[in-house]
Amino acid sequence: MPTQAASPPLHRLLGQTADAVAAVRAGRSLTEVLAACPAELRGGTQALSFAVLRVLGGAQAVRALMAPKAPPPAVDTLLVTALALLWPGESPPPYAEHTLVDQAVTAARARTPAAAKFVNAVLRRFLRERTALVAEARRQPVAAHNHPLWWIERLRQDWPAQADALMAAANHHPPMVLRVNARRGTAADYGQRLAALGRGAARVDDPALGGQALVLDRPCAVHELPGFAEGDVSVQDLSAQRAAPLLLGGGQSGALPALAPGARVLDACAAPGGKTAHLLERADLDLLALDSDARRLTRVQDTLKRLQLPAATPGGGTVRLQAADARQVASWWDGRPFDAILLDAPCTASGIVRRHPDVRWLRRADDVAALAAVQRELLDALWPLLAPGGRLLYATCSIFMAEGQQQIVAFLQRHAAQQPQLAAASPGHLLGVPDNPHSPAEALTGDGFYYALIHKP
């Protein structure tokens, strides 16, 4: 009779998590780091890394208060990891305090034996003096908000009334949101399938989402979702689910007319393919999915295959994938204009840090201007490719004005001679915080995004 594999010892997970945090500090994506993590440690390392990165500013500040002279990097990241996991919060800690301290010391003994006593002393002092040390650390903005100082300052400039709420929201676990494949069923029917398995889910009736969204009461692994492997459902945030209905049009207040079947559509920065798939689930299109990274484009192909959206869709549409930089139009465009263009542009990802807590520590202040320049180049390159009467949907998963409202205001001014029109259905900035923090719908808040739907006369 098969037996369930034992969980890896906590000291191994702490060591692996400390290495992951060190890699993020050095500028590596956590996704990349986790991909190289031993399979038996990956799940636990991801969970602990997320917890640490959400309070990294505070943990680093407390370590500096207790040990002003930074210990060697391997010791420092282990200390910061343990301090973050001992940090006071709304949720109960993942492990008993004495267990975590003991296992952190064991991890130190395995990594840097001479530092074991030092690690033990620092962590025990933190437990004794935690209230005072945390209060002292929180006098520093980076520790109080767990975001880099430049990020804090930019949010306070862009959103003075909402900045603190935005940073607080970024430090909470996001809901797990599903998008039911419209070619294979309805959200109501899928909700019943979940209920039969004892999983609760709330249907989101907002017409801007197309009526196929469900929010799980409790997150789960995707392989636990009925029909996931067969393409019945995908995981996609509420804000991201707005893209396809906006571009396709029809059916909601202020929307542009619905695209005709077989409309020629460009998805200019398609990877990893969630929005590409959503478009094809809802309409038969002549769609070109473009991405500058050929390796990432394979993820689009994998997504379409899982969802049973092959090269030819049932209503006669076609789908083509091509690796190319959308700005280099001469290298990929066949000269035929598009009826619709989705430009989900590269950005800082400042709106999705609750899902990717490493992003805030990876980005640098000058990244905003550099990415805004790329967005501007993409807009200017793609706008001429749009047919008269066509529409372009500009999207970023960012809450920074430079990547949203300011970008589009400047675009409309540059191209004023062509009279581009901002459609009434354009949501603008979606900040990812509820208007009423006491609303029962707070858990249904989507990620931070910006959308501008632009119509060409």
Reported as type and span, the H/E element at residue 455 is strand 449-455
Q: What is the pLDDT of residues 144-187, one digit of tens each?
A: 999 999 999 999 999 999 999 999 999 988 999 999 999 999 99
| pLDDT beyond 70 at 294 | yes
Range in 49-58, 290-299, 309-318, 353-362 with the lowest mean pLDDT:
309-318
Mean pLDDT in residue range 232-249: 96
| pLDDT beyond 70 at 314 | no
**What pLDDT is recorded for position 1?**
35
Q: What is the pLDDT of residues 433-449, one digit of tens each?
A: 765 443 334 445 799 99
The rounded Cα 310 to chain-centroid distance in angstroms is: 26
**What pLDDT is recorded for position 241?**
95
Angstrom CA distances, 8 to 71, 221, 373, stand at: 27, 19, 46
Domains contained in the chain, CATH given: 10-144 (1.10.940.10), 175-236 (3.30.70.1170), 238-455 (3.40.50.150)
| pLDDT beyond 70 at 334 | yes
Helices then strands, counting H and E runs in the chain, come out as: 17, 12
Share of the chain above pLDDT 70, in %: 94
| Helix, coil or strand: residue 178 | strand
**What pLDDT is recorded for position 437?**
43
Q: Please choose, from the candidates 295, 358, 269, the residue with its C-alpha nearest in 3D space to the C-alpha of residue 54.
A: 358
| pLDDT beyond 80 at 248 | yes
Q: Pairing state of beta strands 264-267 and 286-291?
A: parallel
Instruction: Give the pLDDT band (50/70/90) at residue 255.
Output: confident
Whether 391 and 256 have beta carbons less than 8 Å apart is answered as yes
**What pLDDT is recorded for position 445?**
74
Q: Please choose, from the candidates 174, 305, 167, the residue with its C-alpha nearest in 3D space to the C-alpha of residue 231.
A: 305
Mean pLDDT in residue range 364-382: 98
Half-sphere exposure of 452 (CA within 13 A, CB side): 23
Say how far apart CA 275 and CA 131 lie, in whole Å.
45
Torsion of CA 68, 74, 79, 80, to 10 degrees: 80
Query: Does 222 or 252 have the greater pLDDT score?
Result: 222
**What pLDDT is recorded for position 208?**
83
DSSP string, 9-28: PHHHHHHHHHHHHHHHHTT-
- Name residue, tokens 């809802």: 282
Active site residue 397: yes
Instruction: Give the pLDDT band (50/70/90) at residue 7.
Output: confident
**What pLDDT is recorded for position 433?**
77
Instruction: Give the pLDDT band (50/70/90) at residue 3.
Output: very low
